[in-house]
Structure 1
Amino acid sequence: MRRPAMYSRSPRTPIESDDGASGQAAADPVAPQPAAARQRWQPGRRSFALLSLALCAALAAGGAAWWQRGNTRQLTQKDIDAAVLRTLQTNALPSPAAKAADIVRPSVVRVVGYGSEKATPEAKTQKRGRNMAKGKSPEAPADDGPPGQVERGVGTGVVIVDKGVILTNLHVVAGSETIKVTFADGLEAPAVITGVQPENDLAVLQAQKIPDDLIPAVMRSTADLRPGDQVAAVGFPFGIGPSVSAGVVSGLKRSFRSPEGKQELGNLIQFDAAANPGNSGGPLVNMDGEVLGIVTAILNPTQQRTFIGIGFAVPIENAASAAGSPPF
């Protein structure tokens, strides 16, 4: 704390002279005094005054410290527990899944493939879902996309290299004549396929234009992953998103055969976080927002393609090797 300047209020007493001039000076306070007649501090007096001031300051400081020690109560564990409980009761903390989604969201992209419209049951189901998500009639024709092309499929991707390298599912972009990705900041850019791994239904995309501050996701080995571990899936189910669903790892080293029976995938992570068409290619993350795998399929006993609680993801070790850069 800044202290104001302090001034001495002690009057100066003129020194007696032999000719009695001091009396005249005292009687006439306006009269100037010779320099020799002014009183001066003597070395002994100055040292004594400084010593007195230092002693007073030391006593004051010591007294303040003693008073503070005497009036400060020692915190106990009970006090700390009460403060933590009060904070938890008065502040809403984000859930682990919310924190994980916030971490990975800047790396998640929407992937759309354009081309001639398919007539397969799966393509029709996805089209109806996209139309309903947009508030349209289920059978409404597509009205977006490049000239002469329609939106054939919507999926998800995750950026793994800040140069615009994106992992997604092969079935999301297979057969597409044009691919467009939309980044977290809203930037839309064309993308091309630079690598595929059909045995794991994986594709690697390279965006032709990227945001200035693109953030790649952090990948995490699945070596210590266990059933019951919490996970979250982030993606664009039926084009809606980014959407977040949470659950747990249900099993490891699972196998899955596509509904058409054309392909069988192995060494998959089974999870129960909700996933639907459009989640394909998106990241499955732990509660630290680290990517454990790429969402690939959902188990369905019917052709309705609705989630029944069993989803599958390709471990990130396999997914990263598709990009030519095994991370572990």
Structure 2
Amino acid sequence: MPRIARYSSSRRDPVPAAEDTPLTAGASTVDEAPHQAEPASPPPTSRRRLHVAWLLLIFVLSMNAGVLGFWAYDQKHRAPQQITQKDIDAAVLRTLQTQTLPSPTAKAAAKIAPSVVHVVGYTRTKRGTEIERGEGTGVVVVDTGVILTNLHVINGARRIAVQFADGSTSNAEVINVQPENDLAVLKATEAPDDLQAATMRSTEGLNAGDQVIAVGFPFGIGPSVSAGVLSGFKREFQSPEGKQRLRNLIQFDAAANPGNSGGPLVTMDGEVIGIVTAILNPTASRTSLGIGFAVPIENAAKALGSPPF
């Protein structure tokens, strides 16, 4: 007869809790803290785009370097451009259109200006007071201070003073006269170191209608420039007082007034061709009516003791 299984009524010891069970090497538990997550690497698509960008940058820089190198090589080895007459004409025309050039009159005046001087003659009254007797203009013909002027400007003066273009002044003495041409040669006692003598030229080759300027101190104002043309040659002039007749004169129509006497008559090249001497005016005013006379420089050269042109 089979036996019925019997069970003990004793209770089994409880299974120790997980935390109380010692861990052997290599064992792990469910409650162990999870490991810290590592940084995520960029997706493959982003890395690919960055790589392409770097390649494009390198390509662009390479292209720029190549273009720059080619340009430098081309500039170094390029044959110089030939300038043609057409290029020159175009440049001159462009200059004329964009810049105002000085007129021939202005250029002539600028050339003669350093050689023009103001001449004043003084005398004394019975009481010994120095007064002005006459004034006019002169032109420097030798840079040591030799000056050409009219004899009537300084005639009878006890003292002669000259003022140069730079403003400096000096006394002067008469070293020669030529009464038949109303000319006098002065020598300044003190001349500027950089004094410039005028350039003189013969009247040969000049024609009526050629442009000229007269430079001087009309009524003491100046230096003043007036422009005109040559009206004729070999003219004669009788002084208003009838005391003297001048011959072989140059006639011109540039304005000349008292004070212009002794000043230069100048071509457009700035060269002196005569010494302004007289004006014709039948009225008592004796101001310019457009008929002036100058002694040719050939005659003036004789007064200087120089051979004529």
TM-score by length of 2: 0.72
Give the superposition deviation at 1:327: 4.8
Contact 1:106 1:215 (8 Å CA) reproduced: yes
1:68 aligns with 2:78: yes
User: Partner residue of 1:295?
Assistant: 276
Contact 1:228 1:250 (8 Å CA) reproduced: yes
Give the superposition deviation at 1:64: 3.1
CA distance in 1, matches of 2:168, 2:223: 14
Superposed, 1:23-62 pairs within 5 Å as none
User: Partner residue of 1:214?
Assistant: 195
User: What's the secondary structure of 1:307's corresponding residue?
Assistant: coil
User: What's the secondary structure of 1:153's corresponding residue?
Assistant: strand
Give the superposition deviation at 1:65: 7.3
Superposed, 1:218-229 pairs within 5 Å as 218-229=199-210
User: Partner residue of 1:308?
Assistant: 289
Q: 2:221 aligns with which of 240, 245, 248?
A: 240
User: Partner residue of 1:83?
Assistant: 91
- After superposition, the C-alpha distances for 1:155-178 in whole angstroms (9 at most, x for unaligned) are 000111122111100000001111
User: Partner residue of 1:103?
Assistant: 111
Q: 1:251 aligns with which of 205, 208, 232?
A: 232
CA distance in 2, matches of 1:114, 1:74: 66
| Number of equivalent positions | 239
Give the superposition deviation at 1:82: 3.2
User: Partner residue of 2:21?
Assistant: none
CA distance in 2, matches of 1:66, 1:92: 38
Unaligned runs of 5+ in 1: 1-59, 118-146
Structure with bigger gyration radius: 2
Give the superposition deviation at 1:81: 3.2
Give the superposition deviation at 1:75: 5.4
Contact 2:149 2:263 (8 Å CA) reproduced: yes
User: Partner residue of 1:284?
Assistant: 265
User: What's the secondary structure of 2:199's corresponding residue?
Assistant: coil
User: Partner residue of 2:303?
Assistant: 322
Superposed, 1:95-174 pairs within 5 Å as 95-116=103-124, 148-174=129-155
CA distance in 2, matches of 1:310, 1:267: 15
Contact 1:236 1:279 (8 Å CA) reproduced: yes
User: What's the secondary structure of 2:255's corresponding residue?
Assistant: coil
CA distance in 2, matches of 1:265, 1:291: 19
User: What's the secondary structure of 1:175's corresponding residue?
Assistant: coil
CA distance in 2, matches of 1:171, 1:92: 41
Give the direction of change, closer, same or farther, for the CA distance of 1:74–1:297 in structure 2 (3 Å limit): same
Give the superposition deviation at 1:79: 4.2
Give the direction of change, closer, same or farther, for the CA distance of 1:66–1:156 in structure 2 (3 Å limit): closer
CA distance in 2, matches of 1:165, 1:77: 47
Q: 2:256 aligns with which of 264, 270, 275?
A: 275
Paired letter, 1:309: G
User: Partner residue of 1:187?
Assistant: 168
TM-score by length of 1: 0.68
CA distance in 1, matches of 2:239, 2:297: 20
- After superposition, the C-alpha distances for 1:113-161 in whole angstroms (9 at most, x for unaligned) are 11157xxxxxxxxxxxxxxxxxxxxxxxxxxxxx602112110001111
Give the superposition deviation at 1:92: 1.0
CA distance in 2, matches of 1:187, 1:65: 57
Q: 2:242 aligns with which of 236, 261, 264?
A: 261
Unaligned runs of 5+ in 2: 1-69
Matched-pair identity in %: 70
Paired letter, 2:262: G
CA distance in 2, matches of 1:80, 1:292: 35
- After superposition, the C-alpha distances for 1:21-60 in whole angstroms (9 at most, x for unaligned) are xxxxxxxxxxxxxxxxxxxxxxxxxxxxxxxxxxxxxxx9
